[in-house]
Structure 1
Amino acid sequence: MKISTLIILLCIVLKINAFGQSAQADQMQHIKDSVKMAYLSKMSIKNPSLRQASFSAEVITKNNFDSELYDSPLLDGQIQIQRYSAQTSFHLFSVGKNKISATVGGEHQVFMLDDIQSYNTLIDFEERNINKYLAKGALTISRMDTIFSKPLVSHINLSGIVDPETGQHRLMATGLFLSSIKRTKKSHFSVGLVLSSDPSSPSPVIPFIMYSHTFDPSLELSLGISGINLRKQLNDKSSLAFSNKLSGSLAFLQFEENILPKESLYSSLELQSGLTYERLITPKMIFSFSSGINSVFSSKVLEQNKISDPFIKNHQKMTPYVKFELSFLPFWKGLFK
Structure 2
Amino acid sequence: MPLALILNQTGCFRINKPLPIIYDHMKMPVLFLCFLLLPCTMQAQNMISMSSLHPGADTISANMKELAIRYPGLRKFGISASGFGYSDFDVKLDDRDFASGKIKTRRISTFFNTPAIKWKGNSLSAGIYYTYTSTRIKDISNKLPEAELTPVTTDRSTFDLAINYSRSDKIFDHPVVYSLVVRGITDGVNSFRRLNLNGSINLPLKKTGNTTFSVGLLALIDPSSPIPVEPIINYYHKFISSGLELIVDIPTGVNLKKEIARNAWVSVGSNQRSYTIFYDRHNTFLDGKVSYNTIELKSGAAFELLFAKNVMLTLDGGLNSFLSARLFKDGENYNNASIISSNKNAPYVNVGLSLVSF
Match of 1:301 in 2: 327
Distance of 1:110 and 1:166 partners within structure 2? 20
Match of 1:122 in 2: 146
How much has 1:67 moved relative to structure 2? 0.3
Distance of 1:183 and 1:137 partners within structure 2? 32
How much has 1:185 moved relative to structure 2? 3.7
Task: For 1:71-110, list aligned pairs within 5 A.
Answer: 71-91=95-115, 93-110=117-134
Q: Which amino acid aligns with 1:52?
A: K
| Secondary structure in structure 2 of the residue aligned to 1:277 | strand
Conservation of the 8 A alpha-carbon contact between 2:199 and 2:219: yes
Conservation of the 8 A alpha-carbon contact between 2:184 and 2:192: no
CA separation of 1:135 and 1:198: change in aligned 2, threshold 3 A: same
Match of 2:253 in 1: 227
How much has 1:199 moved relative to structure 2? 4.3
Conservation of the 8 A alpha-carbon contact between 2:134 and 2:153: yes
In structure 2, stretches of 5+ residues that fail to align are: 1-61
Match of 1:189 in 2: 213
Q: Which amino acid aligns with 2:158?
A: L
Bigger mean CA deviation after superposition, 48-57 or 93-102? 93-102
How much has 1:311 moved relative to structure 2? 0.6
Q: Which amino acid aligns with 1:90?
A: T
Match of 1:64 in 2: 88
Q: Which amino acid aligns with 1:57?
A: A
Match of 1:31 in 2: none
Q: Does 1:263 align with 2:303?
A: no
Match of 2:353 in 1: 326
Distance of 1:199 and 1:234 partners within structure 2? 43
How much has 1:233 moved relative to structure 2? 0.4
Match of 2:243 in 1: 218
CA separation of 1:52 and 1:219: change in aligned 2, threshold 3 A: same
| Secondary structure in structure 1 of the residue aligned to 2:65 | helix
Distance of 2:285 and 2:171 partners within structure 1? 52
Match of 1:55 in 2: 79
1:113-153 C-alpha deviation (Å, 9 max, x unpaired): 11112222333322111111111111000111122332212
Task: For 1:232-247, list aligned pairs within 5 A.
Answer: 232-247=258-273
CA separation of 1:292 and 1:199: change in aligned 2, threshold 3 A: farther
How much has 1:182 moved relative to structure 2? 2.5
Identity within the alignment, %: 28
Higher Cα Rg, which structure:
1
1:284-307 C-alpha deviation (Å, 9 max, x unpaired): 111101101111111111114433
Conservation of the 8 A alpha-carbon contact between 1:201 and 1:269: no
Conservation of the 8 A alpha-carbon contact between 2:164 and 2:182: yes
Distance of 1:199 and 1:109 partners within structure 2? 22
Distance of 1:183 and 1:138 partners within structure 2? 29
Bigger mean CA deviation after superposition, 279-288 or 180-189? 180-189
1:82-120 C-alpha deviation (Å, 9 max, x unpaired): 111111011353453221101112111111111112222
Pairs aligned (count): 294
| Secondary structure in structure 2 of the residue aligned to 1:255 | strand
Flag the structure with more relative contact order, 1 or 2, with Cα contacts below 8 A and sequence separation at least 6: 2
Bigger mean CA deviation after superposition, 200-209 or 58-67? 200-209
Bigger mean CA deviation after superposition, 145-154 or 264-273? 145-154
Distance of 2:331 and 2:180 partners within structure 1? 21
How much has 1:168 moved relative to structure 2? 6.1
Q: Which amino acid aligns with 2:178?
A: S
| Secondary structure in structure 1 of the residue aligned to 2:239 | strand
Q: Which amino acid aligns with 2:320?
A: N
Distance of 1:178 and 1:156 partners within structure 2? 12
Distance of 2:223 and 2:264 partners within structure 1? 36
Conservation of the 8 A alpha-carbon contact between 1:168 and 1:252: no
Q: Does 1:313 align with 2:337?
A: no
Q: Which amino acid aligns with 1:242?
A: V
Distance of 1:157 and 1:113 partners within structure 2? 35
Bigger mean CA deviation after superposition, 165-174 or 107-116? 165-174
Distance of 1:260 and 1:281 partners within structure 2? 49
How much has 1:224 moved relative to structure 2? 1.5
Conservation of the 8 A alpha-carbon contact between 2:134 and 2:156: yes
Higher helix share: 1
How much has 1:166 moved relative to structure 2? 5.0
Match of 1:32 in 2: none
TM-score by length of 1: 0.82
How much has 1:270 moved relative to structure 2? 1.6
In structure 1, stretches of 5+ residues that fail to align are: 1-37, 332-337
